[in-house]
A and B are shown apart, each in its own frame.
Chain A
């Protein structure tokens, strides 16, 4: 039998993470930034992006992630070090599509699937290639 503390621990782990699909990718991004490639990326881009990701509709029940490509971190919650260079708002699905190259960011913007706040030149450096790609079992 599994000990109850073990179960609780796991339950807590699950409770912390929401049901967003994007969570998985952002978690992978977190690990990715610690690798050599990730550090390279940080050096190359050097900007702070905030992602507001909503399960169904932009602006509602958003989960906020900060992908800090200055420090090479992914954190949950709004950016605390001032203003992010660009803030993107997505639906869960659309964020995944953009991050995995299924939809290009310009198109996402035109479709209204991606909203941008902040510097447009910073926003333009946001491309699908900054994200690691998920592998399939």
Chain B
């Protein structure tokens, strides 16, 4: 059976009995995301090829610490043993023929009974939907039934009562997901109710599950959602002083849409107007004309819901890595629909008229003209059930089946929260900011990419990341080699050799320390801090390590941490240790620490190190003149310390003495020509003086020596646009150093 058949359902999808929920798409979605144990068993037979086919979202359980990330939306999907992730892994590895099997499974189960308005698949294990929750049995089933009863309460708008439940043993992650999801879900269910009512419903639910409603602030997702909501309420309040601020933005959004009735009309009028004034005032204008009927709102809601549900589907489908599938028209269709670019109305697929330049509308049109058979079939089949129905079914199924394996929680929170925010931003961008819409659209793409990347990156923060290909692995004495390379100024090579060393001898503090120094000089702070932390673990009293950590944290503006390490430097110093009473380390005050170092400086004014630490401390308190004086004193004692020249330069630069800073950096570079950090700092100082062309050359120089210096890439980008060299932005974004070097020789 081809993908198209699955989509259209083919003849097999003709559903007898109008009360049946066995809509093909809904059923497919159910299988994709659902929890049917039958399906799961089937999919579990699939060999675990997931390490290669998975797109990286599902880590296979080596990194236990990942699961402890607080408030992460990945809580569940990262749990290696959770049934949900198991299932998803299996799904990801499923190819089309497997889908076929799944499809057959659905066919067999077609025609089962369902409720009238909110049709559901009967769970194979017999967790039936009923209005009264089944509070016996294993925790999962109790939770499932309980959540069902919450969902059911929405049908009649009946107030939901707190119910005593047995201990369910929910993890924080579970709780947060339930919290997030139920809050959002409730706003959809009760779109026509007041915010107070919704809150009551949600609180009743959370109260029964012993979930603290306040924790919701912790997670990034609810935070985002709440912020958007607040923003929305705020802007509404601002524009319409009389309006009920407590009405959720969802409601507001519905109202706005409903009033127009016809999508095209709404979109067109919006488009016509958007150039003239801010979107906000337009919105206000429209708001003032609103008279709405509940019936219409219901209809409109279903369209919004349709968009969301398809988005959910699109997301799930997009996780399949099969290129054939990725290019399929079905996926394109679903994802277009999910973005609101097309929608189904009156038995026709229509593009929305919102797009100004009409790129995707045109693209869609082409596609539609070219191969409209599938679309027709799709529409026909779907519409025989009514466009709203399948959406309801789809959502109902998710809601009914999901809780069993937590999957629904993940899916829902991912899609609804993030996508709403994205969608909202997208629409605002398209509608309101005509001339800069490219900008916004790019940002949107970037945002999507970043989302994917962030999933992979979030687990690596603070952890040292080794290079993939390291020619020094197996070297007989990588430390010696690393030291040699470092001395020659070949920082990136030295990094590799030192990585080989610490791989071989993870407890070699010197290896880690030098690695940290090399990264710092290479202008890669994340890695510098990560390796210095390892050095510090191995040798907690190493003074050079403590100073380096103090400096790095000062650079990162992390004052408390910096103070801790600098104090620790003093405390462990053979000469000044006596000055540092250990009891002080519990509550460090900047003034106390600075006072102690001043004492130390008086004890031995010839010790350059004390002056260096003092200089760093004065940077912390932004007493730059004193910092500069301290570094200058130290330089008299150690005139050939290139890192000291750089410290002086950076301090001068931060106190806007850019010209002085540049000559200090020049000193550093004379002593160490491959000092990437000094090159990058040079660029910063030129940029801060408005000399963008010059700054570009220095950034490019720094980057040719270390393409991993992320800050320099960001600053280069800014300088390029400030110097009106937008023609080079592409080379910058693709990190094409060859082109950049040719264009900006130093």
A interface list, Cβ under 8 A from B:
1-2, 7-8, 10-11, 13-14, 17, 19, 21, 24, 27-28, 31-32, 34-37, 40, 57-59, 96, 100-102, 104, 106-107, 109-113, 115-117, 119-121, 124, 128-129, 132-137
Contacts and interface: CB of A to CB of B under 8 A. Distances in A.
Contacts of A101: 714-715, 717-718
B690 A40 contact: yes
A40 B557 CA distance: 28
A135 B656 contact: no
Nearest to A9: B591
A129 B509 CA distance: 40
Contact of A132 (B225, B278, B436, B688): B688
Interface residues of B, number: 80
Contacts, number: 153
A89 B602 CA distance: 45
B14 interface: no
Nearest to A20: B557
A10 B621 contact: yes
B20 to A, nearest CB: 41
A133 to B, nearest CB: 5
A135 B653 contact: yes
Interface string B223-238: 1110110110011001
B594 interface: yes
B446 A107 contact: yes
Given A101-B717, A115-B230, A31 B655 contact: yes
Contacts of A121: 278
A117 B238 CA distance: 9
Interface string B594-637: 11001100100000000000001001011100000000000000
B270 interface: no
29 contacts: A1-B602, A11-B590, A13-B623, A17-B622, A19-B560, A24-B622, A28-B656, A32-B656, A34-B656, A35-B658, A40-B690, A59-B230, A104-B446, A107-B446, A110-B425, A110-B443, A111-B421, A111-B447, A120-B278, A121-B278, A124-B433, A128-B718, A132-B656, A135-B653, A135-B654, A136-B650, A136-B680, A136-B711, A137-B650
B537 interface: no
B444 interface: yes
Contact of B591 (A14, A27, A110, A111): A14
A100 B623 contact: no
B170 to A, nearest CB: 24
A31 B689 CA distance: 12
Given A104-B446, A115-B227, A135-B654, 14 more contacts: A1-B602, A24-B654, A35-B658, A35-B688, A57-B217, A57-B223, A101-B717, A110-B422, A112-B225, A113-B227, A115-B231, A135-B650, A136-B650, A137-B646
Given A21-B558, A120-B278, A102 B714 contact: yes
Contacts of A13: 621, 623
B84 interface: no
Nearest to A101: B714
Contact of B688 (A40, A58, A133): A133
A2 B425 CA distance: 55
B429 A21 contact: no
Closest 6 CB pairs of A and B: A110-B425, A106-B443, A21-B557, A112-B227, A135-B650, A37-B690
A102 B280 CA distance: 28
Given A37-B689, A112-B223, A136-B523, A11 B589 contact: yes
Interface in B132-166: none
Contacts of B658: 35
A100 B591 contact: no
B554 interface: yes
Contacts of A112: 223-225, 227-228, 231, 421
Interface string B698-735: 00000000000001001101100110000000000000
B478 interface: no
Contacts of A104: 443, 446
B694 interface: no
Nearest to A121: B278
**Taking each of B551, B595, B722, which has the highest tally of chain A beta carbons within 10 Å of its own beta carbon?**
B595
A119 B278 contact: yes
Contacts of B661: 135
A17 B599 CA distance: 25
A135 B685 contact: yes
A73 B132 CA distance: 64
Interface string B436-449: 10011001101100
B586 to A, nearest CB: 18
B651 A137 contact: yes
A36 B425 contact: no
Contact of A136 (B227, B555, B594): B555
Contact of A14 (B590, B616, B655): B590
A35 B429 CA distance: 35
B92 interface: no
B279 interface: yes
B641 interface: no
Nearest to A33: B656
A107 B425 CA distance: 9
Given A57-B217, A100-B711, A135 B231 contact: no
A119 to B, nearest CB: 7
B432 interface: yes
Question: Which of B223, B557, B718 is most buried by chain A, counting CB atoms within 10 A of its CB?
Answer: B557
Given A7-B591, A120-B280, A106 B650 contact: no
